[in-house]
Amino acid sequence: MELFKLIVEWLSILAIPVIILFFLGFGYVKKVKVYEKFVEGAKEGFNVGVKIIPYLVAMLVAIAMFRASGAMEVLTDIVKPITNLIGMPSEVLPMAIMRPLSGSGSLGVMTELMNNFGVDSLIGFISSTMFGSTETTFYVVAVYFGAINVYKTRYAIPAGLLADAAGLITAVLVCRALF
């Protein structure tokens, strides 16, 4: 595990410098006007950022309202009987609900849980595994579809949430088995 971590850490540090060097170097060899083309591509950056704004405002406002309203506790009470069946400690349920909604929110919940119950407790393990294994689905949907002005998302959210649920449940089962 130590070696694996070392390798991945070095890969992460090397990745960007190597990619930049490789792209530009390869482009130079292929006689691409690297500076000109870089600037041409980069121009689009601003448009993408601006295009996302309405989608992100809509999504983040709804999520912020949901969090501020105390709806979380209501939802926790509703889902609790189901999650008890798979042996999920009810303390980590808010983490599971928050994870697909908000990155900063779930970071806060995870930190609080580890503070209250101990970093190396079962609850600590489960909540940090949950944080490490899934993404904030709602944010990704808003940004990725927003960038290309797609508002009919079809089955993207249900499928994404189902994947999240599978990841969250697996986190509980694996942590219970290992720790």
Contact set for other proteins, span 69-98 (CB under 8 A): 69-71, 74
Residue located via tokens 């209250």? 116
- The tokens of 36 are what? 């000109």
Report if residue 21 touches other proteins, rule: CB under 8 A: no
Supply the DSSP string of 81-101, one letter for each residue. Answer: HHHHHTT--GGGHHHHHHTTT
Contact window for other proteins (CB under 8 A) among 26-34, 81-89, 90-98: 26-34
Region 149-178 residues binding other proteins, contact defined as CB under 8 A: 149-160, 162-168, 170-171, 174-175, 178
Which residue, 5 or 85, has its beta carbon nearer to other proteins?
A: 5
Three-state DSSP at 102 gives coil
**67, 79, 90, 91: which one binds other proteins (CB under 8 A):** 67
Q: Do 99 and 136 contact (CB within 8 A), yes or no?
A: yes
- The tokens of 100 are what? 């697909």
Region 103-122 residues binding other proteins, contact defined as CB under 8 A: 107, 110-111, 114-115, 119-120
Q: d(Cα 30, Cα 10) in Å, to the nearest integer?
A: 29
**3, 17, 18, 40: which one binds other proteins (CB under 8 A):** 40
Name every residue whose Cβ is closer than 8 Å to that of residue 72 and which is 6 or more positions away in sequence: 66, 94, 97, 98
Contact window for other proteins (CB under 8 A) among 76-84, 86-94, 123-131: 123-131
Which residue, 89 or 131, has its beta carbon nearer to other proteins?
A: 131
> What's the min distance (Å) between Cβ of 112 and other proteins?
11
* Residue 54, CA atoms < 13 Å, CB-side half-sphere: 9
Measure the N-to-C terminal CA separation of the chain; round to a whole number of Å: 16
> What's the min distance (Å) between Cβ of 89 and other proteins?
15
> What's the min distance (Å) between Cβ of 85 and other proteins?
18
- The tokens of 37 are what? 């083309």
